[in-house]
Amino acid sequence: MSSPDLAAAGFSLEPSADVLEMRDWVHEFAKDVIRPAAAEWDEREETPWPIIEQAAKIGLYSLDFFATQWMDPAGLGMVVAFEELFWGDAGIGLALAGTGLAAVAVASNGTPEQMGEWLPQMFGGPGDVKLAAFCSSEPEAGSDVGAIRTSAVYDQAKDEWLLNGVKTWATNGGIADVHVVVATVDPKLGSRGQASFIVPPGTPGLSQGQKFRKHGIRASHTAEVILDNVRVPGRCLVGGKERLDTRLAKIAEGRSSGEQSAMRTFEKSRPSVAAMAVGIARAAVEYATEYATQRYQFGRPIGQNQAVAFMLADMQASVDAARLLTWRAAWMARHGMKFERAEGSMSKLVAGETAVRVTEQAIQILGGNGYTRDYPVERWHRDAKIFTIFEGTSEIQRMIIGRAVTGLDVR
């Protein structure tokens, strides 16, 4: 079938002209601004506010940019943008992208009024940038979302929700202007008895706990969030109380209530997280390939040796495969297609494990140089590891995929 025939049939692996133009624009920012600053902010282990401000000035860190890419007709805008940002650096990339998970939680599950009020406050604007944090994990509830103990009690007299608990591993936790918190409204129902709440800026009782010193993604702030008698208005229940009451009533009657909001947030975000891992992996393959063509041993480039060339071949094939799985999941999500075979989890699993493997192989190709901080591959390897852990571990992804494939209650 010829290319025109394929186009007429509606099939194409080529992103739109708008997405390609955006990709090149983001890549230039990653190349000229992010990558030169990556090592410094990795060492400092601080939020790179000057770079976030630069991104805001050109419209890269903005609600408009995120919304435009999220609504790309093919679903590829956001994943293409994230691949480029994380090609630049994962820590700085996550500092720029971390607000997105909280935004997705509200955009996917919130009312139009909530989206209109809170999404702009998550990003701010040039000269007054804002951050948001999505707070789900707890010290005793990581992969086991049903074990969340942060409580939400409704005060009908005041039309307020009272939140108490401790969240952990929260990107932007404690320094964010807007926090979206997953809490339990009915402990007997496990994850089905949970809801998400928006905590406005400056709300009394919310504070930062421990800030974590991490193996990788060090330019991204990760911390505990303490909720001590935090009161939020009734309108801050994501989706509204009527929807929550309807869902709980269905559960009480033994009917299906649909997927819990936090799980919907994770599922929708998985292709974007996979794209981040693809960006790191691609950076490592490109760097190792260039090194292998320029590094001479025994009178020839080391890339001329099969041991190195075959490694690079496997690395490149793995990155391309991970990208295709990511694009498929993003396309399906944009078109409202259900992940019948856990395609979102597939993309995240394969991309995350690919990033870890190819960054390690890049270190091997660079030899002793790769093991030093004078070369970026050791940092990329440290950064890559988180993609087999956060947003659902590789083991959890395999469990989800296994359930979808077998139809059995895999545990």
What are the residue numbers of the active site? Answer: 391
Q: Is 329:270 a contact under the CB 8 Å cutoff?
A: yes
Backbone φ, ψ for residue 165 (5° rounding): 155, -175
Q: Is 193:123 a contact under the CB 8 Å cutoff?
A: no
What is the rounded CA–CA span in Å between residue 330 and residue 371? 35
Q: Is 332:342 a contact under the CB 8 Å cutoff?
A: no
Can you spell out the DSSP letters for 318-387?
A: HHHHHHHHHHHHHHHHHTT---TT-HHHHHHHHHHHHHHHHHHHHHHHHGGGGGSTTSTHHHHHHHHGGG
Joined tokens for residue 63 = 């609600």
What is the rounded CA–CA span in Å between residue 358 and residue 316? 9
Joined tokens for residue 243 = 């929807």
What is the rounded CA–CA span in Å between residue 284 and residue 83? 13
Residue 104 zone, left/alpha/beta (φ > 0; ψ -120 to 50; rest): alpha
Q: Is 391:348 a contact under the CB 8 Å cutoff?
A: yes
Q: Which residues pair with 47 in a beta bridge?
A: none
Give Dmax over CA atoms of the chain in angstroms: 82
CA dihedral (198, 248, 343, 380) positive or negative: positive
What is the rounded CA–CA span in Å between residue 61 and residue 3? 36
CA dihedral (151, 155, 161, 163) positive or negative: negative
Tell me whether residue 194 is exposed, middle or buried, using C-beta atoms within 10 angstroms of its C-beta: 0 to 12, 13 to 18, 19 or more: buried
What is the rounded CA–CA span in Å between residue 46 and residue 33? 17
